[in-house]
Structure 1
Amino acid sequence: MSKAGSEYRAGDYESAVATLAAATVDENDYLDLAYLLGLCYARLHRFDEALLYLEQVVTQGEGDARALQCRLTLAYVYAATGRSKLAEYELTKLMESSLETPQVYSALGHATWKQGRLDEGLSWYSKALKLDPENPTALNGYGYLLACAGKDLDKAVSCCRKALNSDPGNPVYADSLGWVYLKLGRLPEAGSYLRAAAKTLHDNDELQEHLAAFEKAVPLR
């Protein structure tokens, strides 16, 4: 188990999975194995396998720190697989356990927006920024949703630019900034950031919608 833990912390998730698969553990240590396997599979985007183990830990270890981490990872997995309502459920359970962090609030912002509750999403991102004004995930999400709502676009640019400045290679942040510029009608900047994002986010539906909107807007200028 210790070897697998070291491999996980080093980012070698495939090796950690292989080590855990070969491990023999007794009943008392099984949740430790399930916990680490669930995290590894989530990192590898093998979401069905991640759910199998994460849900076991949450069910059997209710309330401890390990279960809380698994709930947060479950929320990520559900969001990544389009199950925003389930993601919101897990995040709400975390709040009931007094885990109120910028990460949880930002994830709730995304989950509620995905369910069509844009104003509620903005509220959650705003709460995240009150806890951590420099949090890049919250900055990006808040700026993006402001643009979606057509509200305070100057603020939206500022938020998305700060997020991208903190992580210049992040294609999601580049897409958000491009989207805001498109909403402002600043097409050269919009095209630059959207095309940069497209180099990495090949199959992202939202980005494809943004690119289509950009291409539609260009002839009108």
Structure 2
Amino acid sequence: MNWKVAKAFSYLIVLLLLVGGLIVLAHSCRDEVGTSFIAEILKVFNRLQASRHVRAAEALLSQGRVEEAKTQLCKALELDSKSFAAHSLLIVIYLTEGDAQSVEKLFKHAEANLPTEQVSLLYTDAGDRCAFFEPSNWGAAERYYQRALTLNPNNAVALNNYGYALAERGIKLKKAEKMIKQALALEPNNGAYLDSLGWVYYKQGRYEEAIKLIEKAIKLQPDDAELHYHLGMAYTAVGRLEDAKRQLEEALRINPNHKGASEAIKQLEQKREEAPMGEMA
């Protein structure tokens, strides 16, 4: 008997013992307390089984076997309607596939079964997916962010990410500033949120204010390529070209595939060639 068969056999033995124990317990416990106890045990067992299906789905997704992963996640939800992980992964899959009908159906299921705070996070994730990943859909992203904040106005992640998405597009910058400041009021030492506000200031042309915030953000999160890219862009805007070059190179050291930093360095080299020596400090 190889180890896989032995492992499966051991799971079967445990399952049989559990079921047998429940049957015996059911016969011995006729009162309401006993029945409730059995129901709770079954819930725990179903949650464990659901978790196994979620892990299987994650493994399948890493192999690109999306349809099989969807089957596993649906099984997980049948066993545990409160599985946040199963909801989250399925929503991402359906959004990637452009299956809006299945997304809405799953959100209705989530709202009926999950705590409000968790549903708000699911809408935030959906907003991020539509705002920052392909296939992008800005209209859907805004709807998801707004729903997230309707459910939980203190969802700092939604406040920050919605604001940052607006800043990336250079639109509604006052609204973006207000939301990110709300996120920072909830989490004042969050480096990502400080960077987001700095990026809003950059988009507004408030470069010195942007530099102060992004420098502070980098002290909190020194290994984030995006933060170094943002600081490099802000330094470039005020003519600190050597400082800008160092920050952009650091962004590429952390993430060699950072397209923004790579393009910015090319443009910076052109500026450095055109600038008088005194302006390159």
| Short-chain TM bin | 0.7 to 0.9
- For residue 109 of structure 1, report the CA deviation from its aligned partner: 0.6
> Residue 41 and residue 74 in structure 1: after superposition, are their counterparts in 2 closer, same or farther (change >3 A)?
closer
Give the letter for the 1:61 counterpart.
Answer: A
Contact 1:74 1:87 in 2 (8 A): yes
Q: Provide the C-alpha distance between the structure 2 equivalents of 1:148 and 1:134, rounded to a whole number of angstroms.
A: 22
Q: Provide the C-alpha distance between the structure 2 equivalents of 1:106 and 1:56, rounded to a whole number of angstroms.
A: 27
2:150 is aligned with 1:107: no
Question: Hey, what does 2:138 align to over in structure 1?
Answer: 84
Give the letter for the 1:141 counterpart.
Answer: S
Give the letter for the 2:147 counterpart.
Answer: K
> Residue 183 and residue 37 in structure 1: after superposition, are their counterparts in 2 closer, same or farther (change >3 A)?
same
- For residue 148 of structure 1, report the CA deviation from its aligned partner: 2.1
Q: Provide the C-alpha distance between the structure 1 equivalents of 2:185 and 2:77, rounded to a whole number of angstroms.
A: 43
- For residue 98 of structure 1, report the CA deviation from its aligned partner: 2.6
2:197 is aligned with 1:147: no
Question: Hey, what does 1:36 align to over in structure 2?
Answer: 86
Unaligned runs of 5+ in 2: 1-49, 277-281
Cα RMSD for the two superposed structures: 3.7
Q: Which has the larger radius of gyration?
A: 2
- For residue 78 of structure 1, report the CA deviation from its aligned partner: 0.6
Q: Provide the C-alpha distance between the structure 2 equivalents of 1:96 and 1:110, rounded to a whole number of angstroms.
A: 18
2:213 is aligned with 1:163: no
SS in 2 for 1:168: coil
Identity %: 16
Equivalences, count: 216
Scaled by the length of structure 1, what TM-score is found? 0.77
Question: Hey, what does 2:174 align to over in structure 1?
Answer: 119
Contact 2:54 2:76 in 1 (8 A): no
> Residue 51 and residue 178 in structure 1: after superposition, are their counterparts in 2 closer, same or farther (change >3 A)?
farther
Scaled by the length of structure 2, what TM-score is found? 0.62
Q: Alpha-carbon deviations, 1:160-202, whole Å to 9, x = none?
A: 1222222222111111111111112111110111122234262
Equivalent residues in 2 for 1:60-79, closer than 5 Å: 60-62=109-111, 64-65=114-115, 66-79=118-131
Question: Hey, what does 1:25 align to over in structure 2?
Answer: 75
Unaligned runs of 5+ in 1: none
